[in-house]
Structure 1
Amino acid sequence: MLPPSGPLAGIRVVELAGLGPVPYACVLLAELGADVVRVDRPGGGTQLVPPERDALNRSRPSVAVDLKSPAGRDVVLRLVESADVLVEGLRPGVTERLGVGPDECWARNPRLVYARMTGWGQDGPLADRAGHDINYLGLTGALHAIGTAEAPVPPLNAVADFGGGALFLVVGVLAALLERQTSGRGQVVDAAMVDGASSLVTMVYGLLGAGRWQDRRAANLLDGGAPFYGTYACADGRHVAVGSIEPQFHAQLLAGLGIDPGEHGGQFDVARWPEQHERIAAAFATRDRDEWAEAFAGTDACVTPVLGLTEAPSHPHLAARGTFADRGGHPEPTPAPRFSRTPGAVRGEPRAPGQDTRTALAGWGFGEDEVTGLLEAGAVVQAD
Structure 2
Amino acid sequence: MLLADLGAEVIAVGGGRSGLPVPALARGKQFVTLDLKTADGRAALHRLVEVSDVLMEGFRPGVADRIGAGYEELRRINPRLVYCSVTGYGQTGPLAQAAGHDINYAAVGGALGTFGPADGPPVPPLNLLADFAGGGLLAAFGIVSALYERERSGAGQYLDAAMVDGVLSMMGMNFADWGHRSLPARGEGVLTGSMPAYRCYPCADGRHVAVGALENAFFANLWAALELGEVPDHLDPDNWTEIGERLTAAFATRDRDAWAERFAGVDACVTPVLEPHELAGFGQIKERYDGFDPGSVPPVPVFSRTAARAGHTDTADATEAVLTRLGVSADVARRVTAGGGGPAVTGLSWPPL
TM above 0.5: yes
Instruction: Choose which of 196, 206, 216 in structure 2 pairs with 1:227.
Output: 196
Contact kept, 8 Å, 1:28 with 1:335, in 2: the verdict is: yes
Match for residue 207 of structure 1? 177
Matching of residues 86-97 of structure 1 within 5 Å: 86-97=55-66
Aligned-residue identity in percent: 47
Instruction: Choose which of 320, 327, 343 in structure 2 pairs with 1:365.
Output: 327
Q: Deviations over 1:276-295 (max 9, x none)?
A: 11111111111111111111
AA in 2 matched with 1:175: S
Question: Where do 4+ consecutive residues of structure 1 move more than 6 Å?
Answer: none
Classify 1:241/1:324 alpha carbon distance in 2 versus 1 (closer, same or farther; 3 Å).
Answer: farther
Q: Distance in 2 between matches of 1:163 and 1:313?
A: 24
Give how far 1:379 is off: 5.0
Match for residue 252 of structure 1? 221
Structure 1: state its 5+ residue gaps.
1-26
Structure 2: state its 5+ residue gaps.
345-353
Q: What TM-score does the superposition give when structure 1 sets the normalisation length? A: 0.84
Contact kept, 8 Å, 2:31 with 2:319, in 1: the verdict is: yes
Q: Deviations over 1:198-234 (max 9, x none)?
A: 111111122338x443331232111112111010011
SS in 1 for 2:310: coil
Q: What TM-score does the superposition give when structure 2 sets the normalisation length? A: 0.91
Contact kept, 8 Å, 1:145 with 1:215, in 2: the verdict is: no
Contact kept, 8 Å, 2:183 with 2:190, in 1: the verdict is: no
Contact kept, 8 Å, 1:243 with 1:303, in 2: the verdict is: yes
Give how far 1:58 is off: 1.4
Match for residue 351 of structure 2? none
Matching of residues 1-384 of structure 1 within 5 Å: 27-41=1-15, 44-46=18-20, 54-151=23-120, 152-208=122-178, 211-262=180-231, 265-322=232-289, 325-326=292-293, 331-352=295-316, 355-375=317-337, 378-379=339-340
Root mean square deviation, CA, Å = 2.0
Contact kept, 8 Å, 1:228 with 1:243, in 2: the verdict is: yes
Q: Distance in 2 between matches of 1:78 and 1:250?
A: 61
Q: Deviations over 1:303-341 (max 9, x none)?
A: 100011111232111111117644xxx642111111111
SS in 2 for 1:310: helix
Give how far 1:156 is off: 0.5
Classify 1:379/1:289 alpha carbon distance in 2 versus 1 (closer, same or farther; 3 Å).
Answer: closer
Q: Distance in 2 between matches of 1:323 and 1:97?
A: 48
Contact kept, 8 Å, 1:121 with 1:191, in 2: the verdict is: yes
Q: How many equivalent residue pairs?
A: 343
AA in 1 matched with 2:285: L
AA in 1 matched with 2:310: V
